[in-house]
Amino acid sequence: MKIFIDSANIEQIREVNSWGILDGVTTNPTLVAKEKADFGSIVKEICEIVDGPISAEAISTEVDEIVGEARKLAAVHKNIVVKIPMTEDGLKATKMLSKEGIKVNMTLVFSPAQALLACKAGAKYISPFVGRLDDVGHDGMDIVSQILDILDNYDFDTEVIVASVRHPGHVVEAARMGAHIATIPYDVLKKMFKHPLTDAGIERFLQDWQKVAKR
């Protein structure tokens, strides 16, 4: 399973990229707004750091405006993937852009039916938001499982990005299901390599080594 970081913070992206496990980046208007920096410069800098798909979201809502904005975003760098929300106009724009070779990440997907439409429209990626589904009493990972079942039945060139990840358990479930990608916030990524038994084991080894060194 590929691992993306869900962040627009340059320092976080640099750090996680240095671990050697990062395959791509997803951003959204909310994440970019937190950085209080120019959107274009942030995206360009991310593309210089990570050699993989970089999702940048179009904020337009009408099909012609979405397409125009997407073309500009895609021209920034070859790795740019345009995020487009799951709407009727978003589907129309996705179909048009996919014919032009512009990759689309259809975002704010909350049902298998929406995912099927996104695949049919030519989306390269679809992003089911598991955490937000959990928040309203649904099983977000069950939705991912249903989407993966649909993809297994047909020859769609679409990958599932498990999004709105809230904890390492979401990541493990995604990997067990065979999801193609999980896009993970920085704090969750940090939690993934932490375990109290690992810390205790290191402390024990160091204590034992100090005994050996004193001999």
Please tell me the distance from the alpha carbon of residue 165 to that of residue 42, in angstroms, as a whole number: 23
CA-based nearest residue to 71, from 62, 80, 88: 80
36 is catalytic: no
Sign of the four-CA dihedral 199, 202, 207, 210: negative
DSSP element (H, E) containing 78: none
Give the max Cα distance, the chain.
76
**Which residues lie across from 182 on neighbouring strands?**
3, 162
Cβ 70 vs Cβ 104: under 8 Å? yes
CATH number at residue 143: 3.20.20.70
User: In total, how many domains does the chain have?
Assistant: 1
Cβ 1 vs Cβ 181: under 8 Å? yes
Range of the domain at 207: 2-213
Residue found by looking up tokens 């205790």 in the block: 200
Query: Which residues are CB-contacts of 68 (< 8 A; sequence separation ≥ 6)?
Result: 60
Please tell me the distance from the alpha carbon of residue 66 to that of residue 71, in angstroms, as a whole number: 9
Please tell me the distance from the alpha carbon of residue 38 to that of residue 64, in angstroms, as a whole number: 24
What are residue 127's phi and psi, to 5 degrees? -120, 90
Query: Which residues are CB-contacts of 59 (< 8 A; sequence separation ≥ 6)?
Result: 29, 69
pLDDT score of 213: 67
Encoding tokens for residue 129? 């938001």
CA-based nearest residue to 57, from 34, 81, 25, 86: 81
pLDDT score of 7: 96
Going by their DSSP bridges, the two strands 104-109 and 24-26 should be labelled as unpaired
215 residues of the chain, pLDDT tens digit each: 999 999 999 999 999 999 999 999 999 888 888 887 888 899 999 999 999 999 999 999 999 999 999 999 999 999 999 999 999 999 999 999 999 999 999 999 999 999 999 999 999 999 999 999 999 999 999 999 999 999 999 999 999 999 999 999 999 999 999 999 999 999 999 999 888 888 888 888 888 777 776 66
pLDDT score of 201: 86
pTM of the model: 0.93
The one-character DSSP state at 155 is -
Catalytic residue among 2, 72, 78, 83: 83
Instruction: Report the half-sphere exposure of 81 (CA within 13 A, side-chain side).
Output: 27
Please tell me the distance from the alpha carbon of residue 56 to that of residue 184, in angstroms, as a whole number: 16
